[in-house]
Structure 1
Amino acid sequence: MAKFQGGLDEMVKALQLMSTTERKTLLQNLANKDPAMASAIESKLFTLEQLTDISPKMLVEFLREIKLTDLALALKLYSKDLQDYLLANVSKSMATDINDILNGPKRRQSECDEANALVLSVFRKMIDDERIILSKDDKMV
């Protein structure tokens, strides 16, 4: 099979605009033909940066589903802006616990990658189950 030459980011953007059902169907069909491509797309489809695109209520529900330690370790891989956003949108005690890990001793990259994978798997599942709706352009009124 020919090596894929670009367009991955555009494909991810298009998939993010689709309904969950359409996205699942397309990815399943793609996985049958090119599992590596489907995997590459899925790995870029959702990131924790998208937590800024969900409602506060959905964020609370998401936080209930994951281990705070895993979230804090995963956040080590993301921007300071995302870290600050989450710290501003959680309770003071949660923020303290997250900060202790973020500012604590260095951790192995593999440990942070593993935590990120765990957190993202919950995030993806909640999106697939439509318990989280990504709404980048929707403004609160």
Structure 2
Amino acid sequence: MSPIETLFAAARSAQARAHAPYSRFRVGAALLDEAGAVHAGCNVENAAYPVGTCAEAGAIAAMVAGGGRRIAAILVVGDGEALVTPCGACRQRIREFAAPDAPVHVAGPGGLRRSFTLAALLPDSFGPDNLGAAP
């Protein structure tokens, strides 16, 4: 299985477990860390809307909890016809752990729809290097 197929399978599996009783819009994300491990997350809504969590945030938290520190690639999957790219906050979350040239893949139920670099989604971003810190 290719890395994109592996990420797609993990993201779809996570998407199926999403807690989205309000929007009914389930999202899954899976990322590949620097050691080649796959970490997945799903959106988790809350009745107090700002308290919910995006799928990308869940995947990043799983990576950190599993000992990973760098995102080599990430894939986000959602239903519908429109591209389900990471929201602005998640683009910044990804930036904390990924290089500007890291691939961000966007998929729908049938598979990969489009690939971007993080820099294309979040140009001229603010990150750890701005603070003299290396992630």
TM-score, normalised via structure 1 length: 0.28
Greater fraction of residues in helix: 1
Greater fraction of residues in strand: 2
Instruction: Give the structure with higher Rg (CA).
Output: 1
Flag the structure with more relative contact order, 1 or 2, with Cα contacts below 8 A and sequence separation at least 6. 1
TM-score, normalised via structure 2 length: 0.29
